[in-house]
A and B are shown apart, each in its own frame.
Chain A
Amino acid sequence: MERLREARGEERQATLRRELGEVMDEAFGIYRLAPDMKAGLATLTTLRERFEKLGLHDRARRHNTELLTALELDACIEVAQVIAMASLSREESRGAHQRLDDFQTRDDDRFLCHSEVRRETDGLTLRHVPVQITRYPPQARVYGGDADA
């Protein structure tokens, strides 16, 4: 936090925050496409690099909400990268992750799994962990007329 407090770079947290919101809205909403997600992940990598060149302007040591927002932004960028990696690697559609490209259906054979991302010394690494079904087996969610059929 002390390092962040002394940040004197060119980038402004307000700009990075806005751009983060825009890329997540565009590339990682409910309906997703592979090329958009790939471009989105690249943008997030750039945002992470730009964050390292952040400059803060409020020098106060009490009630410094500019610093607080920058700390939250740091965490938000990382979480966004995790979301991006997990979404790209999930080559199926399931729940709020609906792909309009080659992977429009649920694929329990390959993707009945949790996406786990860890931060290691050389960056973020992802792996898939099989799901333990205990009570509710996966099934298609149907409503209205389809459910009556």
Chain B
Amino acid sequence: MPDPLVLQIERYEPGDEATRIEEFTLARDPDGSLLDAFEHIKDAQDPSFTFRWSCRMGVCGSCGIMVDGIPRLACEVFQRDLGPTARISPLAHFPIERDLIVDQEEFLEKLTSVEPWLMEAGPPQGPHDTHLQRPAQVAAFQRYAGCINCMLCYSACPQFGLNHDFLGPAAITLAHRYNQDSRDGGAAERADVLQAEDGVWGCTLVGTCSVVCPHDVDPAAAIQQEKLAGALDYARSLLWPRGRR
């Protein structure tokens, strides 16, 4: 084999005491992604090798894994960019269900906890019961609406690794997306969860969440903006004890 690719994959079956490393060798495809390599291994070498995937083009967020210790989407890692060998393991900080599949339950609960739906600030002002927004108003939240729920930011966050009660980057960013939306009036409702000690204040500005985000959502920025909003809200409550935001 002229240019082999050796993948050292962390495997696990439900009921096993611990994970084990299994090595697979394949002919490197210069145009292929890591996801293509996984598919080849499953089809031609070991049909029990299991992983999540869907769109294979970096928009669905299903195929998150660790490549040499870095959280990546398998469909966005190219075989030509890997060295002679690569260590593949399931997304860090999550319980493993089977092989590269992790338990997402905790993550989904955090998303729901910030009440991620539009709480209309006022009645629709536009034709046919629509809300009107200027481009600048859309720009205020649009970036934070780009999250594909891939969970890479949670694997990158050392605070989440130490404390699973931390709300985490994606959930806070999702709350921020609604708080920044001019059609929404739910910021006060979301404040209890966001401004808790395990809410935004669990973040210590490490910033690796934004580094690994495959869609440039910049969750770190969203978190710090919510910290500022919370701090200002607190200051206001001292100066004007009866009125709120």
State how many angstroms separate the Cβ of A19 from the closest Cβ of chain B. Answer: 13
Most buried by A among B13, B43, B44, B101: B43
The answer to whether the Cβ of B42 comes within 8 Å of any Cβ in the partner chain is yes
Interface flag for A88 (CB, 8 Å): no
In angstroms, Cα B13 to Cα A56, docked, is 18
Instruction: Report B62 CB to chain A, min CB distance, Å.
Output: 12
Mark each residue of chain A from 37 to 72: 1 if its CB lies under 8 Å from any CB of chain B, else 0. 000000000000000000011111011111000000
Q: Does the CB pair A60–B98 fall under 8 Å?
A: yes
Chain A residues lying within 8 Å of B14, measured Cβ to Cβ, are: 62
Tell me if B182 counts as interface (CB < 8 A to partner A): no
Name the interface residues of A55-99: CB closer than 8 Å to any CB of B.
56-60, 62-66
Q: How far is the CA of A65 from the CA of B101 in the complex (A)?
A: 11
Count of chain A residues near B, Cβ 8 A: 12
Q: Does B130 contact A (CB under 8 A)?
A: no
- Complex Cα gap A59–B42 (Å): 14
A63 contacts B101, C-beta separation under 8 Å: yes
| Interface bin, chain B | 10 to 19
Across-interface contacts of A58 in B (CB, < 8 A): 47-48, 50
A14 adjacent to chain B (CB < 8 Å): yes
CB-based contact A57/B50 at 8 Å: no
- CA of A66 to CA of B101 in the docked complex: distance in angstroms? 14
Q: Do A60 and B13 touch across chains, with their CB atoms under 8 A apart?
A: yes
Q: Compute how far the CA of A56 lies from the CA of B43 in the bound complex, rounded to whole angstroms.
A: 11
- Interface contact B98-A62, CB-CB below 8 Å: yes
Q: What residues on B are CB-neighbors of A65 within 8 Å?
A: 42, 50-51
Residues of B at the A interface (CB closer than 8 Å) are 13-14, 42-44, 47-48, 50-51, 97-99, 101
A and B contact pairs by CB, cutoff 8 A, 30 listed: A14-B42, A14-B43, A14-B44, A14-B47, A56-B47, A57-B47, A57-B48, A58-B47, A58-B48, A58-B50, A59-B48, A60-B13, A60-B48, A60-B50, A60-B98, A62-B14, A62-B97, A62-B98, A63-B50, A63-B97, A63-B98, A63-B99, A63-B101, A64-B50, A65-B42, A65-B50, A65-B51, A66-B42, A66-B47, A66-B48
